[in-house]
Amino acid sequence: MSAFIVLGLLVFMALSIPVAVSIGLSGVLSLTLFTDMPVAVVAQRLFTSMDNGPLLAIPLFILAGNLMEKGGVSRRLVDFTKSIVGGTQGGLAITCVLTCLIFAAISGSGVATTFAIGSILIPAMVKQGYPVAKASALQATAAELGVIIPPSIPLILFAVSTQVSVGELFIAGVIPGLLIAISLVVYVWVWCRMTGHGKNDRDESLSFGAAARSASLALLMPVVILGGIYGGIFTPTEASAVACTYAFILGMFVYREMSFSALVDVLKRSAVTTAAIMLIIAFSGLFAYLLTRSGAAAAIAAYVTELVTSPLMFLLAVNILLFLVGMFVDGAAAIIVLAPILTPIAAGYGIDPVHFGVVMVINLAVGMITPPFGVNLFAACMISGISFEKIVRPLVPFVLVVMACLGLVTYFPELSLWLRDVVYPRG
């Protein structure tokens, strides 16, 4: 059954069947052909997979991101960041990274960050002479901060799959996210100096005072959300509802840039995105249940333990595995299927589950910007109007920068655990 369910998944995906449907078909067929359980077990496992309180944060953070895009919050964040660094050569490219960093602290989604920020900054960078493929590649890469900087939807999924604290995972993602952001800023600054791009990025920028006044309420959003979580005022799930309410009030009543017809469109888009993710979560739960019942999880753990002799080798092997998996499998599905299998093995090597969760999420975030199924790449290409093939070559340096940061986070666990230990002291 283990071989059939995995091979079935690969075959269905190779036939271009959507990921969620591929996972579901392989699971249902395996249950029917290799077990005597009634088909009603499928419905039971699907319900059980989604019957988890923290998962409520996913549709709410998706809705919050869409509300910010339509309500003018993202544009004000872009204007504010541009007013600070726009005078620097390459200021627009740096603005792209820093705005994604701020937006990530509200939306929790890489794709939402790509659309919200990219729809503003990709045309602006192209207007100032940046190659359209390079601008698109930068936007796709910077947007992956949305799944690393808290609040992060993949970190929530990891927490649900492994029973690790959501709050600890959130705080552990802060320094790695900042490391990746700073590294990207350094790279684009050097690239602009070497190529001569971005010399007139100050054009059309607001003054710092005007931009700060316009964006003051938008800048309060991450303070309210993250401050509320770590101040013990509300849980991460409740924070997602606060983010939606705050974004709705700003867009509808303060900035007045969102009409009721636009609100209906936001709700539709959020519902479609949520449905796709929840289908993956539901069917992945059935997939993981059958793998565990077949003994595959225990067999994999025993094999890895026998083959790998040290924590360093284990982390290297996991990074290679997750990099390959991330190229072909949606990050949400990969986390739900692999996290329950790999995390206990990591704990057996003395690796902190929180550190392992951050490493896993960063690694799968790379999958969002690597062909052939990088979702951020598709989103950036939709905004810029270029073909997928044209974005691949300019993307390579960005992938290398993120991979270098991943190596540092992997082998220097203090980068993710130091702040966690400050906020959540060990007993």
At 271, give phi and psi (nearest 5°): -65, -40
Indicate the number of domains in the chain: 1
Residue 27 lies in a domain: no
**CA atoms in the 13 A half-sphere facing the CB of 166:** 25
371 occurs within a structural domain:
yes
Strands, E assignment, 233-379 = none
DSSP characters for 37-94? --THHHHHHHHHHH--GGGGHHHHHHHHHHHHHHTTHHHHHHHHHHHHHTTSTTHHHH
The pLDDT tens digits for 227-277 are 887 788 888 778 888 988 999 999 999 999 999 999 999 999 888 878 877
pTM, 2 dp:
0.80
Give the whole-angstrom CA distance, residue 309 versus residue 228: 42
The reply to whether 309 falls in a domain is yes
Q: Is residue 40 part of a domain?
A: no
With a CB cutoff of 8 Å and minimum separation 6, the contacts of 349 are: 310, 311, 314
Q: What is the pLDDT of residues 46-75, one digit of tens each?
A: 888 787 777 787 788 778 878 888 898 888
Domain that holds residue 360: 53-423
In a domain, 144, yes or no: yes
CA–CA dist 41, 27 (Å, integer): 11
Report if residue 33 sits inside a domain: no
370 part of a folded domain: yes
Tokens 């790998």 map to which residue?
308
Q: Is residue 3 part of a domain?
A: no
Per DSSP, the residues of 291-331 read HHHTTHHHHHHHHHHHH--SHHHHHHHHHHHHHHHHHHS-H
Tens digit of pLDDT for each residue in 280-324?
778 877 877 787 777 766 676 667 667 888 899 999 988 988 888
Q: pLDDT tens digits for 132-160?
A: 999 999 999 998 888 898 888 889 889 98
